[in-house]
Structure 1
Amino acid sequence: MIGIDITSIARIEKMMDKFERKALERFLSEDEILLVRSPSTAAGFWAAKEATSKALGCGIGKTCGFHDIIISKTKKNAPKIKLSKKVMKKFDIKAISVSITHDGGFAASVVHIEKN
């Protein structure tokens, strides 16, 4: 299953300017917030979480919320995604991979999910 999303960096930056830390807490955990160095990083994380929910075929909502999708980084700074145990079990997930990019004022992400 594949999901893709594109997000305006300016939209996320405006949200961060208006709501400060609360904007990030809406869709990121404390550990994820520590990884955010700029609005483009936050926009990339938003796009990755949206792309993940699209790959699952459910969107962000009751079945899979923003906080059920956990983003981290490898030692080489590449993004990684984990899902909550609830989501892993519900969708019978074997593996998940993610790519995030930023260019021209946008952040985009593609997520591939392999089921058991």
Structure 2
Amino acid sequence: MKIGTDIVEIHRIERSLTQFGDKFKQRFLTPQEIELVQKTASIAGFWAAKEAIAKALGCGIGSELSFHDILITKNTRGAPEFKLSEEAQKIHRIKASSLSISHDGGFAIAVAVISQ
């Protein structure tokens, strides 16, 4: 089991949205994810989640794993889940995972637990 965590100031994401608009969201979210997130706090949560997943995998966001290699969804109860692109899954071979996202007090935090 590997664990990754990330925290981001929601205001930082808000500033990027104001400055770059939809281009900022498109940089790290897939079209399906953009449909899921309406509030800035949720967008910040998805940012933190993708960073936490990359940390749990031990590679960070870069040449081995891009933001778009990670797809965050919600299950029928509204809990976050994720899967990797086929190419990234071939490299990282995730067997099981868990993802938690929360936001409060101006921050969004995410924790990812991964078994390979």
Calculate the TM-score normalised by the size of structure 1. 0.96
* CA RMSD of superposed structures (Å): 0.7
**Paired residue secondary structure (2:63):** coil
1:99 CA displacement: 0.1
Q: How do 1:25-104 residues align onto structure 2 when only pairs under 5 Å count?
A: 25-104=26-105
**Paired residue secondary structure (1:93):** coil
Write the distance in 1 (CA, Å) between the matches of 2:79 and 2:53.
16
Write the distance in 1 (CA, Å) between the matches of 2:87 and 2:5.
22
1:96 CA displacement: 1.6
**Paired residue secondary structure (2:7):** strand
Matched with 1:19 is 20
1:102 CA displacement: 0.4
2:109 is aligned with 1:108: yes
Write the distance in 2 (CA, Å) between the matches of 1:77 and 1:19.
29
Unaligned runs of 5+ in 2: none
**Paired residue secondary structure (2:95):** strand
Write the distance in 1 (CA, Å) between the matches of 2:18 and 2:101.
23
Write the distance in 2 (CA, Å) between the matches of 1:23 and 1:47.
15
Structure 1 runs (4+) deviating above 6 angstroms are none
Tell me how many residue pairs correspond in the alignment. 115
Per-residue displacement from partner, 1:23-62 (whole Å, max 9, x unpaired)? 1000000000001111100000000000000000000000
1:91 CA displacement: 1.6
Write the distance in 1 (CA, Å) between the matches of 2:80 and 2:93.
22
Calculate the TM-score normalised by the size of structure 2. 0.96
State percent identity of aligned pairs: 52
